[in-house]
A = this chain, B = another copy of it.
């Protein structure tokens, strides 16, 4: 059994989902682990990691629109707005989604379902560089 850490950097350009499935699988492949798990952890509080439908882009746009309505930018009781109107909603959207996900690895491949992809969900409007840790535990 071994543990391997790797890092990914993703450049984002506005509020939406960015697929990272191939990047994560590539880290798994490079480490040569046949059986185990990979934990994907994002080191930020204004974007998330989600597993989401990866076949139809309309599903992702509907999800983005839903979250824009669920967590509006102009709630009059928000006081944490030093970085603009998308600042506080970004933290709430992160808490309602996920900071880490753990995916099984069998025969060197992540065991995602047919329609599952791994995505970075960016909640800020301005461009950002986002850092993701992948930690593989296995043999």
Q: Chain A interface secondary structure, helix, strand, loop or mixed?
A: mixed
Contact at B80–A37, with CB atoms within 8 Å?
no
A1-B3, A99-B51 given; A66·B59 CB < 8 A = no
**Chain A interface category by residue count:** 35 or more
What are 26 residue pairs bridging A and B, where the CB atoms are less than 8 Å apart in the complex? Answer: A1-B3, A3-B37, A5-B35, A5-B104, A5-B106, A37-B135, A42-B113, A43-B114, A43-B116, A44-B116, A45-B115, A50-B95, A51-B99, A52-B94, A56-B80, A61-B79, A62-B77, A62-B92, A63-B95, A65-B77, A96-B97, A98-B99, A100-B102, A104-B133, A113-B131, A137-B137
